[in-house]
C-alpha cells in the first residue's frame, strides 16, 4: 500500500505520457508516471522518424524517447514500472489506482496508455509468433537478412516498415486488401518506385503456414475469389492499432472502437481525469499530436488542482 498522494499520476510512458510528465514536473507538481513494460510505446518500433519537427535528419524512436525521459526526469518526474489494472475510486481530491498488489493515489489522473498492434486473427499467427511472424520490423527485421518477407497492411506503418525492411531483406511483398494504399503520398511514392517492393493488391491472408517457422502464406484475391500461395520466411503485420483501454471499461465512457473522448483541454467526462495521445478519440495519431495532447493535459490538470 502506497499511502502518499501524488498531485498527478500519468499512466503510460509514450510521447504523450512523458510530455505530460515533463510539463507537470516542471510546474513543480508531485508527479508519478507508471509504465507497464518499457518507456516509449509504439514509437520505439520506429527505426527513423522523419516527420517530428525540428529533426531535419530524422531521429530514431528509441533516441527520441531516451531524450524525453532524461528531460522529464531532470525536472523531477518519478517513473515506476507497474501494470495498472483498474481505477478503484474516483473522488474529487483522491483517485485510487490498483497496480498489481499496490494502490496509488492522486488528485488528477492522466491516461496515456496508447495503443497496440491489431492481430490479423488467422491460423498460424499465434503459433508462429517470433518464428517468422512479427509486429515490429525494427525489432526483428535483421533476422531476415537477404530473405523474402511479406508486410500486411496499406497504412503508414505498413509502408514505412516495408521501406525499412528493404535495407535488410532480398524482397518485400506488400499485401493489401484493396488496390489503393491508405499511407500518405510521400510513402506511397517511395514504395511504388522501390525495386525491392512488390505489391499484391485486393488480397487477404487466410493462413500462415510453416512447420517450425514461417514458410508460406495462403492468400486470397478477394476481387477474383482466387486462392494462391506465397513463399516467404517472414511476415510483418501492420493492420492498425487498438487502444489500450480494456482496464477502463465500465469506468469511463469509450467510443465503439474503445477510444477515450475528451474536451479541448483533454479532460474526459470525469472531472480530474484526462487522456492524451493515441488512446484519445482524435483525427491524427502522430508523435507531434501526442506531445501536444500531453502538454495540454498537464496544463489542464494543473488548473484542475488549482480549483480544488
Site of interaction with ligand NAP (CB under 6 A): 51, 120, 152-158, 160, 177-178, 182, 204, 238-241, 285-286
Of 196 and 285, which has the nearer Cβ to ligand NAP?
285
Closer residue to ligand NAP (CB): 197 or 300: 197
Determine whether 179 is an active site residue.
no
The closest residue (CB) to ligand NAP is: 155
Nearer to ligand NAP, 238 or 259 (CB): 238
Does the annotation mark 106 as catalytic? no
- Closest to 300 measured CA to CA, from 272, 275, 273, 265: 265
How far CA 114 is from CA of 168, 228, 262, 286, in Å, comes to: 29, 36, 15, 11
Give the nearest distance from C-beta 31 to ligand NAP in angstroms.
Answer: 27
Q: For the chain, how big is the Rg over CA atoms in Å?
A: 21
Calpha distance 16→21 (Å, rounded):
9
If the CB atoms of residues 160 and 293 are measured against ligand NAP, the closer one turns out to be 160
- Closer to ligand NAP by CB, 116 or 148: give it: 116
Going by the DSSP 8-state scheme, the letter that residue 141 receives in this structure is: G
CB of 95 to ligand NAP, least distance (A): 29
Q: Which of 139, 179, 225, 263 is catalytic?
A: 139
193 close to 199: Cβ distance less than 8 angstroms: no
Cell for 87?
481505477
Please enumerate in sequence order all residues whose Cβ is within 8 A of that of 118, keeping only pairs 6 or more positions apart, or say none.
237, 239, 240, 241, 242
How does strand 148-152 pair with strand 171-175?
Answer: parallel
Q: For residues 241 and 291, which CB has a smaller minimum distance to ligand NAP in the complex?
A: 241
Is-contact 275 17, C-beta < 8 A? Answer: no
Query: Is 136 a known active-site residue?
Result: yes
> Are the C-beta atoms of 252 and 244 separated by less than 8 Å?
no
Which residue among the candidates 140, 156, 179, 278 is catalytic per the annotation?
140
DSSP string, 60-93: -HHHHHHHHHHHHHHTT-EEEE--EEEEEEE-SS
Least Cβ distance, residue 192 to ligand NAP (angstroms): 15
Q: Which positions are catalytic? A: 136, 139-140
Amino acid at each position: 500500500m502506497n499511502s502518499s498522494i501524488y498531485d498527478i499520476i500519468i499512466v503510460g510512458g509514450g510521447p504523450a505520457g512523458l510530455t505530460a510528465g515533463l510539463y507537470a514536473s516542471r510546474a513543480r507538481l508531485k508527479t508519478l508516471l507508471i509504465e507497464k513494460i518499457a518507456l516509449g510505446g509504439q514509437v520505439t518500433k520506429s527505426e527513423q522518424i522523419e516527420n517530428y519537427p525540428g529533426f531535419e535528419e530524422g531521429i530514431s524512436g528509441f533516441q527520441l524517447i531516451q531524450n524525453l525521459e532524461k528531460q522529464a526526469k531532470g525536472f523531477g518526474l518519478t517513473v515506476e514500472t507497474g501494470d495498472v489494472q483498474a481505477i478503484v475510486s474516483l473522488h474529487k481530491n483522491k483517485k485510487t489506482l490498483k497496480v498489481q498488489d499496490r494502490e496509488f493515489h492522486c488528485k488528477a489522473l492522466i491516461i496515456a496508455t496508447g495503443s497496440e498492434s491489431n492481430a490479423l486473427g488467422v491460423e498460424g499467427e499465434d503459433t508462429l509468433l517470433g518464428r517468422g511472424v512479427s509486429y515490429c520490423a525494427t525489432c526483428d527485421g535483421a533476422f531476415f537478412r537477404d530473405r523474402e518477407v511479406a508486410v500486411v497492411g496499406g497504412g503508414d506503418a505498413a509502408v514505412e516498415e516495408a521501406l525499412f525492411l528493404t535495407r535488410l531483406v532480398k524482397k518485400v511483398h506488400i499485401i493489401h486488401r484493396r488496390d489503393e494504399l491508405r499511407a500518405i503520398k510521400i510513402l506511397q511514392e517511395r514504395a511504388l518506385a522501390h525495386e525491392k517492393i512488390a505489391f499484391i493488391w485486393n488480397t487477404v491472408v487466410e493462413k500462415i503456414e510453416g512447420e517450425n517457422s514461417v514458410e508460406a502464406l495462403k492468400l486470397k484475391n478477394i476481387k477474383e475469389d482466387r486462392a494462391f500461395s506465397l513463399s516467404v520466411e517472414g511476415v510483418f503485420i501492420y493492420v492498425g492499432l487498438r487502444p489500450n483501454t480494456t482496464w477502463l471499461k465500465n469506468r469511463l465512457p469509450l467510443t465503439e472502437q474503445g477510444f477515450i473522448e475528451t474536451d479541448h483541454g483533454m479532460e474526459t467526462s470525469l472531472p480530474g481525469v484526462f487522456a492524451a495521445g493515441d488512446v484519445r478519440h482524435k483525427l491524427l495519431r502522430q508523435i507531434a499530436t501526442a506531445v501536444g495532447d500531453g502538454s495540454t493535459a498537464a496544463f489542464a490538470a494543473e488548473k484542475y488542482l488549482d480549483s480544488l
